[in-house]
Structure 1
């Protein structure tokens, strides 16, 4: 059955004196106009947005029967947005329009035409309707789109074959490094079933420069239906518009502004959609609605753009991509496909709130980007990659560490194979989940030499106002009074309970932080947690040694272990315990979080190149051991 919608189109503009107007431009129930005030000072609004971003970072992965603190934060702000935008006669028309649409067996598409720059960057996707007890955008009956009216909106493209996606990963030096192979693996995994069924064709652009992208968009390549970008984005205050962070021919940062990106993409006539998985790809500047890269692309002719308005975790991004593209391949309107992907994120990831991170910008009035007919085999087999444009081979460059607000001591781990896991004959104490030992290839990356310190974590808390899991829940599992137990009042600042503190432990590793806390810290710092394979290679080296320093047993000179100190010690204090690459504290002192879910069969079943942990799990992987 076809998915059909009636439109509830709102135009939101400035009214002066801090007020805003909302006008119902189109609805099945008539027209209305009202004024509203968000009743938030700029500082209050910034604090609300910061609290929302922190809640998103911490959501997911926990099972609770009651509303989590994170969802309370998001729901409260979503309720505020709903009651401000839809008030008085406008709200009455909204409910009447929903009844009319339901009576006609249709949905009600909420089109937001936000021309007030002060409101353009607010997360309207989180609007919460108290009467119906729902987030609007989580229902396929009420999708939310950021609508931009153009004089000649593009019509649905007839596609007699698989949807052809051109994907690009850019990781220029000077920004948080991306593991290109890992990012490709994630998207390929998300689209695996669709590719196997012949519904989607995924081609990777080998290069990272604008020349590579321009070449791929020539008529001699493609035709492409979707451009999928993975990387960094931002706002260029000099040019007054958003940009994507590509690389120049030396691998350094090149800011491809939205207007120039539109010039590259818009002439490729078959292109109907851009997906920007960039950390700031959906953000504009409050002074100029068209500074958003997404809105600019739509204005310049791309029928629809999906972009992330906040940081999004790997698992949420994979879940979104898999079900969004599945919806498109099934012939759904793009806004319905986005909503279906939101619901999949909500169902697959316990307590997550990241379903509101994707934002859809659209000029297509009915949301139909493609007119899909029966699949047909391409005349020639598609290439898996489009080669990069390189006039002359650029000189080899040492990767630069990311720019962060903290002074990390980075260690570059070269690409190559190492022996992952344990050999029972060499290490008789190895557990079953450490077996078997085998060769695994890991791409080049950089990792901090020592664990995160109390001082570094304190910088994060002071800058963001973040509250850890232990602080919000009131206790932590710690070693105190000769045993491990839950201690009320224990947290990162009071690691043994309310009577303890960290004033004299600024150079000790921070403790009492959950995996969610670690991810929130990394996101603020512009870095990420290592995969388990990355952690193990940095700690073990390439030769399969039992400990970071070799096969010799631990001593009081090599690490803080087995109660020889009975407390944490300053990071990097045990120089004799350095790994092959010079990392310290990889054994003893504190346990260290990795990005992966735990799987007892991981060593046996993981891929042999840039392995990731399983898609699902009940606990995250810890490595290193503690005192």
Structure 2
């Protein structure tokens, strides 16, 4: 883990690509904490499974409106522009793209197809927790005016992050060397000693997602948004992934926010943890 010294910073979007949910830019204060230097890997998650026998959300049958459906998760289908994500029976953290896929040679890749609930269970076992959204953005860059975790120069992005280059989503020319996930630490860490804070996989945060979160910081409980009136209780994800591109979500910007329902497994979403003494 890397020690992140506490302090105050300006949180929110700093570029013309900033979306409404990244505004208004505002001041936040963070206490010192420790953060995983990399995203949690398949090997680390395997240790948790072996020790506890935990069964992930994607490995359980789905009960919906009185009907039972087989276990599975969502995979990306670039051939369908109307619906990029499709449910794949048998997809889970051990088989990220379906039962025919494997993580056999991907021990050091970030674990994916894990729900927010799975990440919370792993965190409890480790004696850590998911980062709050404020902590995550504070740790993403040592420069509060930087657009990206590595700075402001996008021309060097492929030297710092695993993301999509080319015409999204049909053509990925992979100038960064990776079409999907990369081993954690494949790119230089940011100034705080953290790898892959931009790209590779989206990372679950503790917070429930509010589109207007920055307008109501007083509604937080213990530093994060615990609940929301939205029955789906979507949770914040941060950092972007190998699917992010300049023409689509630009999720590798330090201030970029996205969300997903807490029971969802996706082939481009993982997590890292923090520890507060």
- Normalised by the length of structure 2, the TM-score is 0.73
Equivalent in the alignment of 1:567: 180
2:206 to 595, 618, 625: 595
- 8 Å contact from structure 2 (residues 219, 225) kept in 1: no
- 8 Å contact from structure 1 (residues 442, 534) kept in 2: yes
1:477 CA drift (Å): 0.8
1:415 CA drift (Å): 1.4
**Structure 2 counterparts to residues 12-27 of structure 1, below 5 A:** none
Equivalent in the alignment of 2:75: 478
1:608 CA drift (Å): 11
Equivalent in the alignment of 1:621: 236
- Cα RMSD (Å): 1.9
Equivalent in the alignment of 1:555: 157
1:224-259, Cα deviation, whole Å (9 max, x unpaired):
xxxxxxxxxxxxxxxxxxxxxxxxxxxxxxxxxxxx
Task: Say yes or no: does 1:414 pair with 2:5.
Answer: yes
> Structure 1 CA distance, aligned partners of 2:219 and 2:55?
38
Equivalent in the alignment of 1:453: 41
**Structure 2 counterparts to residues 276-425 of structure 1, below 5 A:** 410-423=1-14
- 8 Å contact from structure 1 (residues 495, 501) kept in 2: yes
Higher helix share: 1
> Structure 2 CA distance, aligned partners of 1:450 and 1:607?
31
1:585 CA drift (Å): 0.4
> Structure 2 CA distance, aligned partners of 1:436 and 1:608?
16
Equivalent in the alignment of 2:131: 530
3-state SS in 1 of match to 2:2? strand
Question: 1:484 and 1:566, CA in 2 relative to 1: closer, same or farther beyond 3 A?
Answer: farther
Larger Rg: 1
1:422 CA drift (Å): 1.1
- 8 Å contact from structure 1 (residues 480, 496) kept in 2: no
- 8 Å contact from structure 1 (residues 418, 541) kept in 2: no
* Unmatched runs of 5 consecutive residues or more in structure 1: 1-409
1:480 CA drift (Å): 4.9
1:298-334, Cα deviation, whole Å (9 max, x unpaired):
xxxxxxxxxxxxxxxxxxxxxxxxxxxxxxxxxxxxx
3-state SS in 1 of match to 2:107? coil
3-state SS in 2 of match to 1:594? strand
- 8 Å contact from structure 1 (residues 493, 501) kept in 2: yes
Equivalent in the alignment of 2:106: 505
Higher RCO (C-alpha 8 Å, min separation 6): 2
Question: 1:580 and 1:604, CA in 2 relative to 1: closer, same or farther beyond 3 A?
Answer: farther
Equivalent in the alignment of 2:57: 469
Equivalent in the alignment of 1:185: none
- 8 Å contact from structure 2 (residues 11, 144) kept in 1: no
* Unmatched runs of 5 consecutive residues or more in structure 2: 62-70, 165-171, 243-277
Equivalent in the alignment of 2:253: none
1:486 CA drift (Å): 1.1
> Structure 1 CA distance, aligned partners of 2:114 and 2:187?
23
3-state SS in 1 of match to 2:227? coil
1:611 CA drift (Å): 3.3
- Normalised by the length of structure 1, the TM-score is 0.33
> Structure 1 CA distance, aligned partners of 2:187 and 2:55?
31
- 8 Å contact from structure 2 (residues 96, 102) kept in 1: yes
- 8 Å contact from structure 1 (residues 441, 608) kept in 2: no
1:542 CA drift (Å): 4.4
